[in-house]
Structure 1
Amino acid sequence: MTSEVTASSNAPAPSTTGIRVNLGCGIVALPGWENYDKSPVMLLRRVPFLRSLLVKLKILTPGHIQTWPDNVQRRDLTKPLPQADGTVEAIYSSHMLEHIYLQEARELVKEAYRVMAPGGILRLALPDGELWARQLLEGQGGEHFNERINAYPVARPKGRRQITFMLGGSAHKWQPTRDLVKAMVEDAGFTNFRELAYQEGDLPQVTEVEVRPESMFFEAVRPAA
């Protein structure tokens, strides 16, 4: 199922360079992909004693310290990507862009365009801020709305809760909407911008890499030179 932002046109044939990149992969790190994340809890994966202690002290929950695959590289994605120009056939990112500042997200999408080969596919899965806004207008409550957009807590975290907040994942720094995402992707140079359904699209291995159905899903292509 597509929305009004769906564009249909003749996309170039997909690249066959073979390099696939997952930006903000979490623990979903497919073999053969270059998987990047910067979660603070990644630092604990080689210190099991400290990890267990933080759970025992109730600073972290077991959900915070899932086992991170060895093929995840810790990387600051506000910095340039390591791939050379035009070498990547596919880039996927799920629920990551909203955790960096909007301008940083725009720069990262431009970096994705730089490293993408002609015909390469960018796919973004993002929280649906428009859906939550509609629910707010339908009277589902302002506090519920703030919880859904992952804004900062109602009260300033203190003590152990402050450490949990720091290690447990950052708040959203902007809220994705269809117009913002479309402009971001097209300003970077991508074409054939489409909104698609969960696990449907042209991204290689999309049914394996995509695990969060509660999202908006977009694909775009780097055009042929």
Structure 2
Amino acid sequence: MAIASNTFLQKYHIFPFAKEGAKALICLSYPLRRRLGAVDRRIISEYMARHEVRKLHIGCGDNRLEGWLNSDYFPSSSALLNLDATGKFPFPDASFDFIFSEHMIEHVPYSGGLNMLTEAHRVLRKGGVLRISTPDLAFLLALFQEQKSELQQEYIAHETNTFIADAPGYSETFVFNRFVRSWGHTFIYDEKTLRAAMQTAGFHDLERCELRQSKHAPLRDIENRSRVPEKFLRLETMTIEATK
């Protein structure tokens, strides 16, 4: 959401003093245009009619999963569903068997994330499974330990070389500050907080999973492979599955 609006502002050279108003206009107008048309209703209707096992992908970006109802706040094509995860989902209760969201919940405030989890619980069928992958605050805090692993040192160097041109050297402090502010990040969860939010939303049988692994076949190997180098994605990410 923030990434898309920032790209627009840079492309069309919107002046800094006008950026906040322009962002508000972008965020309001695009979903409104979609809601006024029949595009999203058609996408939902066609997906539901064609799939007995129903799977919702929230915040798909460019990771379009076969057999899933792929959705995004700023869908890149008319084939994708426009979905605001912080609002009421446009589905009846008990509509889906699986829901997946990766590196998305950290882009909305905690209250918005809790809404997403609550709505996910509502639209899942009994026994349905939610899989959330998101950056783990613990990985960021671990960068500050005296004895860093080789992978942690590589990560700090990679992030600095790629994103932090003004850093005086390889510093976990610069990496931390960039990570919690960049890409529209709003709230970075630790495992305890994410588990508590999922339980508040009504989920049970919470289980932390390795990246790309699951007891449930539809939830295996579905994370985006193009986001960052695989070893860094594993370092950053925690994945929790929960059952309705």
Instruction: Please tell me the residue identity of whatever aligns with 2:126.
Output: P
Equivalent-residue separation in structure 2 for 1:209 and 1:71 (angstroms):
19
Q: List runs of 5+ in structure 2 lacking aligned partners.
A: 1-50, 149-170, 226-232
| Structural mapping, 1:172-191, within 5 Å | 172-191=185-204
Aligned match for 2:60, one of 14, 25, 47: 25
Q: How many residues get paired?
A: 162
- The alignment status of 1:37 with 2:72, answered yes or no, reads yes
Tell me the TM-score normalised to structure 1 length.
0.66
The answer to whether the 8 A contact 1:100-1:173 is kept is yes
Matched, 1:117 2:148: no
What SS is found at the alignment partner of 1:120? strand
Instruction: Compute the displacement of 1:110 (Å).
Output: 0.4
**Are positions 1:194 and 2:210 aligned together?**
no
| Candidates 175, 182, 193, aligned match of 1:144 | 175
The SS at the match of 1:189 is: coil
1:114-163 deviations in whole A, cap 9, x for unaligned? 011011000000012111111124484311211233x15xxxxxxxxxxx
The answer to whether the Cα contact below 8 Å between 1:24 and 1:93 also exists between their aligned partners in 2 is: yes
Sort the Cα spacing of 1:114 and 1:27 in 2 relative to 1 into closer, same or farther, 3 A: same
**Quick one: structure 1 residues 135 and 189, their matched pair in 2 at CA, closer, same or farther if it must change by over 3 Å?**
same
TM-score by length of 2: 0.61
Once the 2 structures are TM-superposed, how far is the Cα of residue 70 of structure 1 from its aligned partner? 5.0
> Could you say which residue in structure 2 is the equivalent of 1:104?
112
Q: Tell which deviates more after alignment, 68-77 or 30-39.
A: 68-77
Deviations 1:21-56 (A, max 9, x none): 0010111112321111124xx5xxxxxxxxxxxxxx
Tell me, in whole angstroms, the C-alpha distance in 2 between the residues paired with 1:89 and 1:181: 21
**8 Å Cα contact 1:91/1:121 also seen in 2:** yes
* Aligned mates of 1:123, 1:38 — CA distance in 2: 19
CA spacing shift, 1:203–1:27, aligned 2, 3 Å: farther
Task: Report % sequence identity.
Answer: 25
Equivalent residue number for residue 218 of structure 1: 240
Consecutive unaligned residues of structure 1, counting only runs of 5 or more, are: 1-15, 43-67, 153-169
Question: Per residue, is there more helix in 1 or in 2?
Answer: 2
